Amino acid sequence: MTDLLNDNFPYAENILAGRTALVCGASKGIGRASAMMLARAGARVIACARSAEVLDELIGELHGSGHETLVLDLEDVEAVREVVLGLGVVDIVINNAGGPPGGPLLGNNLDEFEGPFARHLHAAHTIAQILAPRMAATGYGRFVNIISTSVREPIDNIGLSNTLRGAMASWSKSLSRELDPCVTINNIMPGFTDTARLGSLAGSISERTGKTVEEVRETWMNSVPIQRLVDPVETAAAVTFLCLPSSGAIRGVSLAVDGGRMRSI
Instruction: Tell me the range of 4-18, 138-152, 203-217 where mean pLDDT is highest.
Output: 138-152
Using DSSP, state whether 208 is helix, strand or coil: helix
Residue from 189, 206, 124, 194 nearest 155 by CA: 189
Q: How high is the pLDDT of residue 2?
A: 59
- Tell me the pLDDT tens digit for each residue of 83-128: 999 999 999 999 999 889 888 999 999 999 999 999 999 999 999 9
CB-based burial label for 106 (10 Å; 0-12, 13-18, 19+): exposed
Residue 203 has a pLDDT of 83
Tell me the average pLDDT across 216-242.
93
Bigger pLDDT: 99 or 246? 246
Least confident of 30-39, 163-172, 209-218, 237-246: 209-218
What lies within 8 Å, CB to CB, of 30 at 6+ separation is 96, 146, 188, 190, 193, 195, 232, 235, 236, 239
161 and 148 Cβ atoms separated by less than 8 Å: yes
pLDDT at 16 over 60: yes
Lowest mean pLDDT among 21-30, 119-128, 209-218, 247-256: 209-218
pLDDT over 60 at 244, yes or no: yes
- Nearest residue to 153 via CA among 173, 169, 174, 177: 169
What does the pLDDT average to over 6-22? 93
* 136 three-class SS: helix
Query: Domain coordinates of the chain in residue numbers?
Result: 2-191+231-256, 194-229
Side-chain-facing half-sphere of 57: CA atoms under 13 Å: 9
Other Cβ atoms closer than 10 A to 252 = 16
Task: Report the chain's C-alpha Rg in angstroms.
Answer: 18
pLDDT value, residue 4: 84
Percentage of the chain modeled with pLDDT above 70? 99
Determine the average pLDDT of the residues in 213-240: 92
| pLDDT recorded at residue 205 | 83
Please compute the mean of the pLDDT values over residues 50-65 and round it to a whole number: 95
* CATH number attached to the domain at 2-191+231-256: 3.40.50.720
Question: What global pTM score does this model have?
Answer: 0.93
Residue 66 predicted with pLDDT over 90? yes
Question: How confident is the model over 174-218, as pLDDT tens digits?
Answer: 999 999 999 999 999 999 888 878 788 778 888 888 888 888 888
Residue 32's pLDDT band (boundaries 50, 70, 90)? Answer: very high
